[in-house]
Chain A
Amino acid sequence: MDLDKTTSKYTPTFFSEHQTALYKSLEDKHTTVEVDTDDPLETQMILNMGPQHPATHGVLRIVMQLKGEKIVRSKLDIGYLHRGVEKIAENKTYQEFMPYTDRMDYLAPYSNNVAFCMAVEKIAQIEVPERAQYIRMIGSELARISSHLLWLGTMVMDAGAISFFIWTFRERERLYDIFDEIAGHRFTVSHSRIGGVANDFTEDALKSINEFVDTFPQELKDWNKLLNRNRIFIDRNKDVGVVDHEKAIELGLTGPTLRATGISYDIRKFEPYMMYNQIDFEVPSRLEGDNLARYFCRMEEMAESIKIVKQCLAKMEKGPIRVDDAKKAYPSKDEVYYSMEGLIHDFMMTDTGVCPPEGAESYHSVEGPKGELGYYIQSDGTGHPWRVKVNSPSFSNLQGLENILDGEMVADTVVIIGGVDPVMGESDK
C-alpha cells in the first residue's frame, strides 16, 4: 500500500509531526513487502481506532494496518491522559502526593495508596502496626475484586452480553458502599496514611464486609455457571490473543495476563509484603495464554481474594492503626484537638512531613489487580521526594498488547483489549 498517497490526501492538521511519525513507525514495524491485488479480501487499509472509542476502556488509540479482516500490524498511541504525576510528586510532600495515586489506577485506588505508602515507609523506616496492615490487606483485596468486576462486566459486554454488566455493577455498588463506610469516599478512597491508615473500621463497615464475603461467593458461582461452559462466550474467547510463556516474559507482561501463560509471578508470593506470608491462598494460573485463560485466572483470583479477606478478618486483633510517633505519622485527631503538642505535630506533618535520609532510595511493589505495581522513590533528605517512578502494570501490558494484536482478526481487537484489561489513567501517568 502506498502510504505516501494516503498521508498526502489526508494531511493531519493537529499534532502533524506526531501523526506523521506514528504512521511512519507503523510502516517500519516489520520490513515485509506487501503486494496489492484486486481481491477485496486482500485489500489493505489503515484503521484508526480511538482515542475516543467506547471499547478501548479510556483514551487508548490503536492504528492498525489491515489486510482484509486480519491485522497485519498495529501500533498503540498512548499519552492522551498524561498528567505528569511524577513531576507533581517532586513538588509535593509524601503525604500530599498520596491522593494523586488514587487517580492512577482509578479502578483499584486502595492498592495504589497502599503501594505508595509502603514505599515511603520502607525508605523512611517506619513500622506499621499489625492491625493497620490487615486493614490495608482487606482494602486491597476488596479493590482487586472491584477492579476485576469491572473487567468482567465490560469484557462480557464486549463479547456481546449487555445484561451481565449490570449484574457485576450491582456487586460493585455494594463494594463502593463498603469503601464509603471505611474511608468516607466511594471512589477515590485515600484511606492509607504513611505509618498506618486514616481510621479504623467502624461496626457498620465490618458488618457490611462480612455480609459481602458471605454472599459474594454465591454470585461468583452463578456467573461461573453462566459463562464457563457458555458456547458463545468460549467461541469468542478461546484461542484469541494467544501468547506463550516465553513471549510473555520477553514482552514484560504482568499480572493475570502473565499468569494466564503459566508463569505464576505474583508479588504476594514472590516478595511477600504485609501479612501475606501468614495467609493461606493460591495463585491461580493457566497454561493456554489466550483470552479464556485470562478470564479463568481473574475469576479464580476473585475467589482467592474472598478467602484472604475472610482470613484477615479472623486474624485481625484490636490495636493501634497508626504508628504512635509524631515524627513519622499524623497524630490522632483526639490529640490534635485536645493537646498543644498534637496540634504542633499535626502542623509539622502537613508542612514538612516525613524526611527520609538523604540519598536513600527504595522500591516497593505490590500485586495490584492489573499486575506488579511498584513505586521507586529517591530522597534528597527533605520532605519532598527527589524522584518518584511509578511502575504501572497497564503500561507493561499495553506494550504486550501491541504485539498480541498482530495477526489477529480485527473483530477480536475489542475482546483482546478487554482481556488484557488496561487502565489508561495508570499507563499514561
Chain B
Amino acid sequence: MSKKNAKEQLLEDIQAYLGADLIESKDGYAFPNILINKDRLHETCRWLKNEQHFIYLVDVFGTDRFTSEDRFEVIYNMVCLRTQERLFLKIRIEEENPVVPTVTDIWKSANWNEREVFDMFGIQFEGHPDMRRMYMPEDYQYYPLRKEFPLIGVPGSIELPSTTPDKA
C-alpha cells in the first residue's frame, strides 16, 4: 500500500468509527490532524492502538486557546510503525475543572507527558498513577503556560534557598 493510500484509508476508518464524534479533520502540513469529542477519547485511543497499530505514542501536550469556551486543548502525537503514519489527535476541554481521562493504561509512555501537561496547564488526568508536577516543585501554586501567567513570573512564588544556611 502506498503512503498516500494508507493515510486516506486511515481517515476513512476514523470517520467510520467515530461518526458524529469526529468534530474536525484536517490534513494540512503533511500530517492528519483530527479533533474528536472528549467523551470518546479513551475508547478511540484504545481502538487506534489495537486496531490501527498506533503503538508508539510520541508526545502528549496541551495548549491554551484562551477562549471562553473549550479553552484547553490536549494533543496526542502518535505514530504507526506499520504504515509509517503520524496522527495528531486533539480534544478540547472547558476551563472550569479541566479533567481528561488518562491514557497511561494504553500507552505507558504517556505518564510523564501527562504530568507535564498537568504541571503547565493544570489539567487533571483521571486515573493517572502518579499525578505530580513534572518540572515545578509541588509547593508551587501556579500553572506557567496558561496565557494569563505573566512572563516575568510571580515574585515570591518560589522559595529560594537561604543565603545563610547555618541559621536557617
A residues neighboring B (CB under 8 Å):
13-18, 20-22, 25, 28-29, 78-79, 82, 84, 86-88, 91, 122-123, 249-252, 254, 263, 265, 270-271, 360-363, 372, 374, 376, 378, 386-387, 389, 391, 395-396, 398-400, 428-429
Say if the beta carbon of B159 comes within 8 Å of chain A.
yes
Cross-chain contact of A18 among B30, B58, B109, B137 (Cβ < 8 A): B137
Q: Give 5 nearest A-B pairs by CB, closest first.
A: A252-B109, A79-B135, A18-B137, A18-B138, A82-B135
Chain A residues within 8 Å of B136, by CB: 79, 82
Q: Is the CB of B63 within 8 A of A387?
A: yes
Q: Is the CB of B64 within 8 A of A387?
A: yes
Cross-chain contact of A360 among B29, B75, B120 (Cβ < 8 A): B29
User: In this complex, what residue of B is CB-closest to A86?
Assistant: B145
Chain A residues within 8 Å of B109, by CB: 250-252, 396, 399-400
Q: Is the CB of A21 within 8 A of B56?
A: no
Cross-chain contact of B137 among A15, A250, A360, A362 (Cβ < 8 A): A15
Q: Is the CB of B137 within 8 A of A252?
A: no
Q: Is the CB of B84 within 8 A of A270?
A: yes
Alpha-carbon distance A78/B133, docked complex (angstroms)? 10
User: In this complex, what residue of A is CB-closest to B146?
Assistant: A87
Alpha-carbon distance A21/B63, docked complex (angstroms)? 26
Chain B residues within 8 Å of A398, by CB: 112
Q: Is the CB of B135 within 8 A of A78?
A: yes
Contact with A along B7-28 (1 / 0, CB 8 A): 0000000000000000000001
Given A14-B161, A15-B138, verify A252-B58 contact (CB < 8 Å): yes
Alpha-carbon distance A192/B88, docked complex (angstroms)? 27
Alpha-carbon distance A363/B86, docked complex (angstroms)? 10
Contact with A along B126-160 (1 / 0, CB 8 A): 00011011111111000011000101000000010
Given A79-B134, A87-B151, A251-B109, verify A389-B61 contact (CB < 8 Å): yes
Cross-chain contact of A14 among B88, B107, B108, B159 (Cβ < 8 A): B159
